[in-house]
Amino acid sequence: MGTLGKAIYSVGFWIRETGQALDRLGCRLQGNYYFQEQLSRHRTLMNVFDKAPAVDRDAFVAPSASILGDVQVGRSSSIWYGCVLRGDVNSISIGSGTNIQDNSLVHVAKSNLSGKVFPTIIGSNVTVGHSAVLHGCTVEDEAFVGMGATLLDGVHVEKHGMVAAGALVRQNTRIPCGEVWGGNPAKFLRKLTEEEIAFISQSALNYSNLAQVHAAENAKSFDEIEFEKVLRKKFARRDEEYDSMLGVVREIPAELILPDNVLPDKVPKTA
């Protein structure tokens, strides 16, 4: 951002601050009769000067997540509730079909003890478990990072590599393809089985499908939500014996049925 751009940004900032100051002044003048509404400053997508997030239109970003600065999110990826992706001093890149689960943190490194600059690069069809921390690292396609794991600067997880839940992976560690690392500090535990490698891809697909449901729910208007409340109350499940005594046959309306791809093991009822 050049000098002119910073000047325009500063003017816009002060105009917004002036509006809030006038609101506070008006509340004081009203004395005991004022009504003050607390507004949240949370923004799901936020620029950092000239660095703006680039999120694919088919990606899902939860309303309570925060994506700031130079961040790219690919097609069919999902950023879940409470996540923070902060690309302020370097860049974050996320491929397609990747899921960053609830309360995870992804940040970057501008400088560290080794003097190296590290962006964070996450490939496609990667699963990052709840409350994980990824800082200035690289995670290749179809890798798996368990819940609560921490990856420090310079860590490189190769394709089909797995970091166990709660692991702390030290700086500049490389996790080879097809290996499970865990512990504090993380060490090699064993090789992945074929079933576990297949599970990584399936996990990413499951979350991609589930993200579509959450995206649809978050996009509903107030009237749609209230209408569904009425439907759920009307078609609430009862004990089968209770219904049989009353001669009631209940059917679930189409609006309340989840897509089959959310539940892979769901078997359709035969006529």
Mean pLDDT for the stretch of residues 101-119: 84
What is the structure's pLDDT at 192? 94
Residue 51, phi then psi, degrees to nearest 5: -95, 115
Mean pLDDT for the stretch of residues 232-241: 66
What is the structure's pLDDT at 185? 94
Given a cut of 80, whether residue 232 has pLDDT beyond it is no
Q: Residues of the chain with pLDDT > 70: what percent?
A: 82
Mean pLDDT for the stretch of residues 217-228: 87
What is the structure's pLDDT at 28? 82
Given a cut of 90, whether residue 79 has pLDDT beyond it is yes
**Amino acid, res. 82:** G
> Given pLDDT bands bounded at 50, 70 and 90, which one contains residue 2?
confident
Q: Residues of the chain with pLDDT > 90: what percent?
A: 57
Within 10 A of 127 (CB to CB), how many other CB atoms are there? 25
Region of poorest pLDDT, from 66-80, 230-244, 245-259: 245-259
> Given pLDDT bands bounded at 50, 70 and 90, which one contains residue 225?
confident
Q: Could you give the angle at the alpha carbon of 164 between the alpha carbons of 158 and 207, nearest 5°?
A: 80
Instruction: Using DSSP, state whether 2 is helix, strand or coil.
Output: coil
What is the structure's pLDDT at 114? 66
Take residue 125 and report the two structure tokens written for it: 């069809």
Q: pLDDT for 39-53, tens place per residue?
A: 677 889 999 888 999
Residue 215, phi then psi, degrees to nearest 5: -60, -40
Question: Look-up: residue for tokens 């003050």?
Answer: 36
Residue of 101, 95, 97 lying closest to 62 (CA atoms): 101
Cα distance from N-terminal residue to C-terminal residue, the chain: 64
Q: Are 194 and 188 in contact (CB under 8 A)?
A: no
- Sign of torsion over alpha carbons 160, 133, 89, 12: positive
pTM: 0.74
Distance from C-alpha of 120 to C-alpha of 52, rounded to nearest angstrom: 16
Mean pLDDT for the stretch of residues 18-36: 81
**Amino acid, res. 121:** I
- Average model confidence (pLDDT) across the chain: 86
Residue of 88, 159, 81, 68 lying closest to 122 (CA atoms): 159
> Given pLDDT bands bounded at 50, 70 and 90, which one contains residue 271?
very low
